[in-house]
Amino acid sequence: MRIAITSSGTDLDAPFDPRFGRAAYFIIFDEETETWQFHANPAVEAPGGAGVQAAQFVANQGATVVISGDFGPNAYRALSAAGLAMYVAPRGEPPSVRQLLHQYRAGTLQSVAGPTSRGHHGLTAGTR
């Protein structure tokens, strides 16, 4: 199983990024091999549709699980259509990617059964 976690940096000790569509990076962790890779989010600067583009990118990386802080309606629909399970990180001080991975493996993260926000519409001042 491959787990995608939104991240503000390029390694497991980086703080997670609570944004899905506009996260700086995705850390993809492979549970079978216990290895990981980071990928810059190709949708981070998209003028619109970042959630859908990010969902397609994560699905193309072979992820079956996504952990983030927020899933808008379009990202939620795209991830659901691709068959990916979604989990939200706890609110508060941003944990590291490694901490979220441990929480997921311990079964303490909340699964997502619908969009967690109203979503956003393109880049606007102050959103980044």
pLDDT at 79: 97
Q: Give me the pLDDT at residue 115, please.
A: 86
Best CA proximity match to 68, nearest among 35, 108, 116, 106: 116
pTM of the model: 0.89
pLDDT at res. 120: 57
- The dotted CATH code for 2-111 is 3.30.420.130
Does residue 72 sit in helix, strand or coil?
Answer: coil
Cβ neighbours of residue 69 closer than 8 Å, sequence gap 6 or more: 6, 16, 17, 18, 19, 20, 88, 89, 91
Q: State the angle between helix axes of 73-81 and 50-60 in degrees (0 to 180), rounded to the nearest 10.
A: 20
**How would you write the pLDDT of the chain (128 residues) with one tens digit per residue?**
999 999 999 999 999 999 999 999 999 999 999 999 999 999 999 899 999 999 999 999 999 999 999 999 999 999 999 999 999 998 888 899 999 999 999 999 999 988 887 765 554 434 43
Q: What is the pLDDT of residue 119?
A: 62
Which residue in this structure is represented by tokens 């519409």?
121
Cα 98–Cα 25–Cα 42 angle in degrees, nearest 5: 155
Beta strands in 1-128 (DSSP E): 2-7, 25-30, 35-40, 65-68, 85-88, 110-111
- Cα(80)–Cα(116) distance, rounded to whole angstroms? 13
